[in-house]
Amino acid sequence: MAWTGKIIGGVLGSLLGPFGVVGGVLLGHQLDKGTDRVRNTGMAIQVAFFGCLAKMARADGRVTQEEIAMIEQIMARLGYVGERREVAIGIFRKAKDDPHTAEDYLSQLASIIQHNPQIAMIFLSSLHAVALADGALHANEREILLQAERVFHLRPGTVDAMLGTAGGTSKLDEAYQVLDCTPDMSDEEIKKVWRQKCLEYHPDKLASQGLPDEFMKSAQNQLARINAAYDTIKKARS
């Protein structure tokens, strides 16, 4: 039925709160256009995700051309073209000027992914990219990143490590933070943590937790970061 997708979208929107209704209906329209293979969880993630990006881009009071270009890059990497791209832009534009806060969107996204730290890091990386797109980090942008760290229940210091502002943080210190390890842990303990994180970022694992296929490339990038961190620690210990 032509209205099936819109009904699903409306229900999805109600789950996301008042700011999600428009996005839900737009994504419901996508269902009517033949993308019904996308899971409801995946659609909810996309609505909340682009809402978060919109709030980050608007954090310093205006959306710059550099930020727009970064959003376009993110959409391109995710394979958002044609009508799907227009839907994402519609969500972005609606969220950019709505009365809700970045923390509102972050909280919704955290709830949808059930505070999964692996998926959270994928989204935090995109927020980080938008925050630095214009070459400067505004205080409000940094605050949104820190809000994300808190709302996603990530390890304190995660954002500072990404920004390179953790008071004298070295590449080795950052590697330990990426793996959630400490220098006093044994080689075997660190290896065990590394293997566990590799399993957690496996595509099948993330897909089973509702991560849409288009976000898998970001997951692979995060996995590469984990492997690089492990290599850094191994070299330092050798």
* Tens-place pLDDT, residues 106-134: 998 898 888 888 888 888 989 999 999 99
pLDDT band at 23 (very low <50, low <70, confident <90, very high): very low
If you count them, how many residues does the chain have? Answer: 238
Cα–Cα dist 171/38, whole Å: 39
Average pLDDT over residues 30-40: 44
Task: Evaluate if residue 207 carries a pLDDT over 60.
Answer: yes
Cα–Cα dist 18/14, whole Å: 7
**Better-scored residue on pLDDT, 2 or 221:** 221
Task: Evaluate if residue 55 carries a pLDDT over 60.
Answer: yes
Cα–Cα dist 109/91, whole Å: 14
Q: What is the pLDDT of residue 17?
A: 45
Cβ-based neighbours of 68, under 8 Å, separated by 6 or more: 57
Cβ-based neighbours of 88, under 8 Å, separated by 6 or more: 46, 50, 75, 80
Please check whether residue 145 is in contact with residue 128, taking contact to mean a CB–CB distance below 8 angstroms.
yes
Task: Evaluate if residue 3 carries a pLDDT over 70.
Answer: no
**Which ranges in 98-186 belong to alpha helices (H)?**
102-112, 117-131, 139-151, 158-163, 171-179
Phi, psi of 83 (to 5 degrees): -65, -35
